[in-house]
Amino acid sequence: MHIEKEKEKNLKFYNLKPIISPRHIAIIGASNNPNKIGNVIIKNYLSVGFTGKLYPINLTSDNIMNIKAYKSILDVKGEIDLAVIAIKAEGVPDVLEECGKAHVKGVVVVSSGFAEVGNIELQDKLVSIAKKYNMPIIGPNCLGIMDPLSRNDTLFLPTFKIERPSIGGVSFLVQSGAIGSTILDLISTEGFGLAKFISYGNAAVVDEVDLLNYLADDKQTKVIVLYIEGINRGKEFIEVAKRVSKKKPVIVLKGGVTDAGATAAFSHTASLTGSHIAYEAAFKQVGFIIAHDFDDMLDYAKIFDTQALSTGDRIAVITNGGGAGVLTTDAIYLNNMQLAELSKKVKAKLRKQMPSIVNIRMPLDIGGDADDKRYKDALDAVTNDPNVDSIIVITLFQTPGADEKVADTIIEYGTQYKKPLIVISMGGSYTQAHKAIIEEEGVPVYESPTAAARSLSALIKYARYKNE
C-alpha cells in the first residue's frame, strides 16, 4: 500500500476545478444564428441560470444574445476560467494558442474532426499547445461539462430536448457524447440526481485518469459512473482507480467488447480498446462494479446513490404476489445471495399479526389483499430481525390494498433504517406514478426481479471489496 501511495505522488494531475465549476467563461464561436452550435451553448447558459460572467467570442458580431461580444479572447479584460471552443476543427489550434496567451485556466473543445476521423496531426497540435501553456483541455469531439451546482453547461443539447437533471450525488464520465446525452435524458426518470457530467471525447489531453482523480475528492460525488471505449495510460489508470474505488463506488461500462465494436470505437473517439478480457480483469482488480449493458449502469447507479453498504447476503423478501416472490427467489440465488431465515421471535410476532392464510417463511407472501398495515407489520419485523441483511419489497399496485399508503410505508422504512431496502414494482401508469413517488424519496424501484437482484448483489460485492 505504501508503494502504491508513493507511485501516485509522482503522478501529475491537472487542476480541473476552473473547468468544472468556472465563474468566468468565454464561448469561442458564440453566434446569433440558431443553427450554430455556439448559439445553443450560450443559450443554454442563460437558460440554466448561470450567474457568472459570459464572454461571447465572434469575429463579426459585437453583440450575442444581448451580451457584449469580442473578436478575440485576447480582447477580454480580466481572468477567464474556462474557454469553450465551438468552431471548425482547422481553426482550433489558432484560438487555442490565443487561450494560452490569455492565461485561460482550462478549455473544452466540443469541435469534432480530429483523430476520430484520422486527423491525428491536427489533434497533436492541440496536445502541443496544451503542454506549452500547461493548460488542461477536455475533448476534442465531446459534449463537455455539466455541473448543476455551479450551473456550468457546455453542452450543445437544447434544454427543450433534454431536461436538465436535478442536483444529486451521481457523476458520469463518458467518452461518447451520444451515450452521455441518452444518460442525461433518462436520469430524470431513474430516481437520482446529477453531481457532475463530463463528456471527454478523444481525451487528447485530459483523460479518465485525471477525471477519476478529480472526482475521488469531489465532496458532492457519491457514485462515479464511467463509460469508456479505451484507456491510454494503463498503469496510471490502475493506480488511480485503486484509490478511487476504496473511497467511493465506480460503475464501469466498457464499449468495444467485440472486434466489430472495437473498430467502431476507434472511428468514434480514436480509442484503442485492447482485450476485453484484460479490461474486465483490471476492473475487477481495482474493485470497479462492472455493468454489462445500459440498464445495469443505471440500475446500479441508483442503488449505490441511495442505499447503505452491506456485506451480508441474507435477503428478506416481502411480496403481495406469490409468483413475483418465486421469481425473485430465483433471481436472488442466481446472483449468489440467499433468502434470510427469520428468527423465532420474529416468526412468532408475525404469526400473531398476519392472517392465517399467510405462511410465515421466506419469501413472505402477505397476500393479494395486503394493505398498508400489513406491509407495515411485515417491514417492522424484518428490518429489526438480526438475521436479515437486506430487504426486497415487492408491491403489485394492481391489487386492491396497494395504494399511496403502501408507498408511504415503504418510504418510511426505506429511508429511516440502515439496512438496504429496494422495491420491485411492475405495471402501467398507476404503478409508474407510485414508482416515481417512492424514488423521489430515495428508495430505488426496479421493474424486474433480475434487475433488483443484480443491483443488490453488486452492492454487496462492492461492500466486501471495500472492507478487505
Q: Are residues 337 and 436 in the same domain?
A: yes
Residue 183 in any domain: the answer is: yes
> Total structural domains in the chain?
2
Q: Are residues 285 and 333 in the same domain?
A: no
The DSSP secondary-structure symbol of 166 reads P
Q: Which of 242, 277, 304 is the last residue of a domain?
A: 304
Residue 12 in any domain: the answer is: no
pLDDT, residue 59, reads: 94
Residue 98 in any domain: the answer is: yes
Instruction: Give dist(CA 113, CA 133) in Å, integer.
Output: 23
Q: Are residues 176 and 324 in the same domain?
A: no
| Local confidence band at 163 (pLDDT 50, 70, 90 cut-offs) | confident
Asked if the model's pLDDT at residue 408 lies above 90, the reply is: yes
Residue 4 in any domain: the answer is: no
Pair 129, 205: CB distance under 8 Å: no
pLDDT in tens, 124-140: 999 999 999 999 999 99
Q: Backbone dihedral region of 131: left (phi > 0), alpha (psi from -120 to 50 degrees) or beta?
A: alpha
Residue 422 in any domain: the answer is: yes
Average pLDDT rounded to a whole number, residues 311-319: 98
Q: Are residues 144 and 263 in the same domain?
A: yes
pLDDT, residue 35, reads: 92
| Residue with more model confidence, 67 or 162 | 67
**Chain-wide mean pLDDT for the chain?**
92
Residue 5 in any domain: the answer is: no
Instruction: Give dist(CA 154, CA 355) in Å, integer.
Output: 58
pLDDT in tens, 228-274: 988 888 899 999 999 999 999 999 999 865 554 444 443 444 444 55
pLDDT in tens, 12-51: 788 999 999 999 999 999 999 999 999 999 999 999 999 9
Residue 11 in any domain: the answer is: no
Average pLDDT rounded to a whole number, residues 167-174: 95
Q: How far is CA 388 from CA 210, 385, 407, in A?
A: 40, 6, 22
Q: Are residues 256 and 379 in the same domain?
A: no
**Among residues 303, 364, 363, which one has the least CA distance to residue 338?**
363
Count of C-beta atoms within a 10 Å radius of residue 160: 7
pLDDT in tens, 182-231: 888 888 777 789 999 999 999 999 999 999 999 999 999 999 999 998 88
pLDDT in tens, 289-309: 999 998 999 999 999 999 999
Average pLDDT rounded to a whole number, residues 394-410: 96
pLDDT, residue 160, reads: 78
Q: Are residues 268 and 243 in the same domain?
A: yes
Q: Are residues 220 and 77 in the same domain?
A: yes
Q: Are residues 325 and 447 in the same domain?
A: yes
| Residue whose entry in the numeric block shows the C-alpha cell 472486434 | 259
Pair 8, 239: CB distance under 8 Å: yes
Q: Which of 276, 304, 332 is the last residue of a domain?
A: 304
Q: Are residues 299 and 314 in the same domain?
A: no
pLDDT, residue 19, reads: 97
Burial 120-151 (b: 16+ CB within 10 A, else e): eebbebbeebbeebebbbbbbbbbbbbbbebb
Asked if the model's pLDDT at residue 3 lies above 70, the reply is: no
The percent of residues above 70 in pLDDT, for the chain, comes to: 93
pLDDT, residue 183, reads: 87
pLDDT, residue 272, reads: 42
CATH number at 223 reads 3.40.50.261
pLDDT, residue 11, reads: 60
The percent of residues above 90 in pLDDT, for the chain, comes to: 82
Q: Are residues 350 and 209 in the same domain?
A: no
**Among residues 365, 249, 362, which one has the least CA distance to residue 315?**
362
Q: Which of 245, 271, 304 is the last residue of a domain?
A: 304
pLDDT, residue 182, reads: 87
Q: Which three cell numbers stand for residue 103?
A: 492565461
pLDDT, residue 274, reads: 58
Residue 392: which domain range?
A: 309-466
Q: How far is CA 183 from CA 123, 192, 304, 387, in A?
A: 27, 12, 17, 38
| Local confidence band at 176 (pLDDT 50, 70, 90 cut-offs) | confident
Asked if the model's pLDDT at residue 446 lies above 80, the reply is: yes
pLDDT, residue 267, reads: 42
Q: Are residues 236 and 313 in the same domain?
A: no
Q: Are residues 285 and 322 in the same domain?
A: no
Residue 389 in any domain: the answer is: yes
State which H helix or E strand residue 92 sits in: helix 92-101
Burial 58-95 (b: 16+ CB within 10 A, else e): beeeeebbeeebbeebeebeeebbbbbbbbebeebbeb
pLDDT, residue 1, reads: 39
